[in-house]
Amino acid sequence: MKWLLVFGMVALVSVGAGAEGLAQQKYRIRKNICNMMDDASCSHWVASHNEDEEGAATLAISAGGSDPLAMDVNGLGAADGVWTDGSSVTFEVTNTGTVASGSIVFQVENDAGANFVTDLVLTTCAASLDAAATCDIVLYPRADRNGSYDGTLRVSATTAGTASMAVAGVASGFAGGGGLPVAVLSMDPASAAGMDIAAAGMSVGLVLYGDVVPFTVRNCDGCETTTDLTINLSGTHFSMASNGCTAPLAGGGSCVIEVQPTADADVGSYTGMLTVSADAGGEVSAGLSGSANGFGPSDLYCWGHFAYGKVGHVYGDNNTVAVAVSAMGLGVDLAAGGYDHTCALKNGAVSCWGRNHQGQLGNNATTDSIPPVSVVDMDSDVTAVNAGFTHTCAIKSGVLYCWGGNAYGQLGDGTNINSLLPVEVQGDLAGGGVSVLSIGYYHSCAIKSGALYCWGENSFGKLGDNSLINRSTPTPVVGMDSGVTAVMVGIQDTCAVRSGAAYCWGRGYGGALGNGGTSDSHVPVAVLNMGSGVTSISTGLLNGCAIKSGALYCWGYNQYGLLGDGTIINRTSPVPVVDMDSGVTAVSAGDHHNCAIKDTTLYCWGRGETTGALGLGNYENRSVPTMVLGMDSGVTQLSNGTWHTCAIKP
């Protein structure tokens, strides 16, 4: 009885069949019957044959090789209100399904200005599309004034859903209601000669940029709006510093393009061309020319952390190898590395470069500078210079001057006011007689007639006056009233040499004072085993080093292998530095790295990671002295900054 009902229903539905194919009719009948029956095998058949047997129509649309978003119209000077057609675009509609689609309907939606029109002669989409069949819809844009327009071409069919594609365009070239003139571009200046680069001794291979030259591009007054501008800059020695010409120019409108010359070596002459063009507006060009000169050698080299240009080179990556600061040329006598700035002494004159936010460059400004700038009134007779965190000091004709940050009185002029120009240190050091100086983050020290004075910030008692009071003028260091020949200021401690013996004071963490303990001291304490024969001393961040009879010893905090003894163990008293038992003539301590000259060869150790301050061509740390690349001989002087290093190699 069940199957009789089934066959009866088959016959009944088949009689009423319409446009569907026989396979689709059978599928629908069996599906309906299965839905009425509790039969597992029947339900499985429906699930496995659903899409294969039933079939579907699906529409797809494409624009061939045309851009449907660039259906533009050029008015060619026509007045507003005169409708003008653009080039047509043929859209191909395809039935990607397995059955016929039914009748096709299409329209451009959201076309408020009626800017898209169907070419009914060439359009073939109307009737039903068989499976895999195609038809064409041909649209052309039209406009009667300048402006942009857009819409959506939507195609649908009774059994195939919809397909759509965005269409858009720009109308230009219409003269407006009053007959606006066609757009015409102009450029000022029409040419630019003398776009030169003066390298001032910078090394060959270092890319420099010259002054920026602005070029103003204009559309004529009262003219139509241009189409989009195209910019082309030719010539290998020119670079676009900025481009403000990124949109069409209305009548009377203007924009600015900035161009600057670039070179890494002397060039007798170079030329180029800046060209701006628009489909509606024409083309305008400016000739460019210049030369580069002054690239040359230097005997001052710096490397490590590049921030603010303190290594004397343009912004970029850190220098992991020694690079000549060619702007200083030859004949540099002394280098001084600070936190984010560096200074050098040449022929009795001081130059500084790097960060200048508190006036530490001494040029009466607060603008950072990569090229060295001359310090005001420090152009002759200077014998020493030292750079700190935000301040700098120098000795000129025996008189001590300081400039830059002064929050803790570190300039020694009796105030806490920053100075963009050198000011004379007051108190017991006023008037001259100063022979040696050293400055740190926020405190300073100097030797006058064998006596040591310090001033500035006094945390941990690092001024050595048996107090914790900040001083804005020099104060005598306890027990250091004569016989002092060397002094070195660290971040939180200070060390000096008196009558051949080494002393330190301030913070004792990690054994920084070298006296066998870790306690702070507000007055100088003797460094163990350094009671005689000491000729030079240096201190950085809680570590110290001294040269005794040509051998190098270090003590204190030993993170990154700062002490150079092959370990990272803190030492409360001096230990020999590996392979530095003779021939050592100079030592300099930074925050996290130390360097020394042995037999005119430069070695560094400690932290190299993230900065490259060791000059080894990599970012590795070293716990023993390692030769700096290119510094295997002839090195005469060195100075460690916080994160960078400088050396002189004539």
Cα angle value 430/433/434 (rounded, 5°) = 85
Please name which of 104, 98, 140 lies closest in space to residue 122, comparing C-alpha atoms. Answer: 140
Is 413:422 a contact under the CB 8 Å cutoff?
Answer: no
pLDDT for 523: 98
The β-bridge partners of 297 are none
Which pLDDT belongs to residue 10?
A: 33
- pLDDT band, very low/low/confident/very high, at 51 (cuts 50, 70, 90): very low
Which stretch of 301-310, 498-507, 616-625 has the lowest confidence by average pLDDT? 301-310
Dig out the tokens for 186 from the structure: 């102009």
- Alpha-carbon gap, residue 134 to 243, rounded angstroms: 46
- The tokens for 466 are 């048996």
pLDDT in tens, 118-148: 888 888 888 888 888 899 999 999 988 888 8
CB 443 within 8 A of CB 456: yes
Question: How far is it, in rounded angstroms, from Cα 338 to Cα 89?
Answer: 67
In this structure, what are the phi and psi dihedrals at residue 162, rounded to the nearest 5 degrees? Answer: -130, 160
pLDDT (0 to 100) of residue 13: 32
Instruction: Quote the pLDDT of residue 511.
Output: 97
The whole-model pTM stands at 0.60
pLDDT of residue 104: 87
Asked whether 323 and 311 are in contact (CB, 8 A), the reply is yes
pLDDT given for residue 50 in this prediction: 44
Q: What is the pLDDT, as a whole number, of residue 180? A: 66
C-alpha triplet 484, 589, 646: angle, nearest 5°: 110
Please, which pLDDT band fits residue 176 given cuts at 50, 70 and 90?
low
Place of tokens 């400088």: 646
Q: Any residues with CB less than 8 A from the CB of 323 and at least 6 apart, and which?
A: 203, 206, 301, 302, 303, 311, 312, 313
- Lowest average pLDDT, out of 200-204, 206-210, 475-479, 520-524, goes to 200-204
Q: What is the pLDDT of residue 113?
A: 67
φ/ψ bin of 53: left (φ > 0), alpha (ψ from -120 to 50), beta (otherwise): alpha
pLDDT band at 8 (very low <50, low <70, confident <90, very high): very low
Sign of CA dihedral 235, 240, 245, 246: positive
Question: Which tens digit of pLDDT belongs to each residue from 558-607?
Answer: 999 999 999 999 999 999 999 999 999 999 998 899 999 999 999 999 99
59-172 against 331-482: fold identical:
no
Give Cβ neighbours of residue 290 (< 8 Å, ≥ 6 apart): 193, 194, 195, 196, 197, 210, 237, 261, 269, 270
Helix 22-36 / helix 2-15 crossing angle, nearest 10 deg: 140
Compute the distance between CA of residue 503 and CA of residue 536 in angstroms, rounded to an integer. Answer: 12
Helix, strand or coil, per DSSP, at residue 565: coil
**Model pLDDT for residues 14-50, shown as the tens digit of each residue:** 333 333 444 455 555 555 666 665 555 555 444 444 4
Categorize the per-residue pLDDT at 99 as very low, low, confident or very high, splitting at 50, 70 and 90. confident
3-state SS class at 459:
helix
Helix 40-54 to helix 22-36 angle (10° resolution) is 150
Contact status, residue 7 vs residue 30, Cβ threshold 8 Å? no
Averaged pLDDT for residues 97-122: 83
For range 434-451, the mean pLDDT: 96
**Helices vs. strands in the chain: H and E counts, helices first:** 3, 47
* Domain 185-293, CATH among 2.60.40.10, 2.40.30.60, 1.10.1060.10, 1.10.287.70: 2.60.40.10
pLDDT of residue 9 exceeding 90, the answer is no
The span from the CA of 565 to the CA of 464, in Å, is: 29
**For position 106, what pLDDT does the model report?**
87
Do the strands 267-278 and 493-498 form a parallel or antiparallel pair, or are they unpaired?
unpaired
Q: What number of residues does the chain have? A: 650
Residue 555: the pLDDT is 98
Residues 6+ away with beta carbon under 8 Å from 140: 71, 85, 86, 87, 88, 89, 116, 117, 119
Statement: residue 333 has pLDDT above 80: yes
Superfamily of domain 59-172: Immunoglobulins (2.60.40.10)
79-103 average pLDDT score: 85
- Among 288-302, 457-471, 619-633, the minimum mean pLDDT is found in 288-302
Domain spans, the chain: 2-54, 59-172, 185-293, 331-482
| pLDDT in the model for residue 53 | 43
Q: What's the CA gap between 29 and 36, in Å, rounded?
A: 11
DSSP designation for 47: H
Question: Each residue of 493-541: pLDDT tens digit?
Answer: 999 999 999 999 999 999 999 999 999 999 999 999 999 999 999 999 9
User: Does 331-482 carry CATH code 2.130.10.30?
Assistant: yes
How far is residue 298's CA from residue 199's CA, in Å, rounded to a whole number?
A: 12
> What is the DSSP secondary structure assignment for residue 113, as one 8-state letter?
T
- pLDDT > 80? residue 229: yes
Task: Give pLDDT tens digits for 469-491.
Answer: 999 999 999 999 999 999 999 99
Instruction: Say how many CA atoms lie within 13 Å of 457 toward its Cβ.
Output: 20
Mean pLDDT of the chain: 87
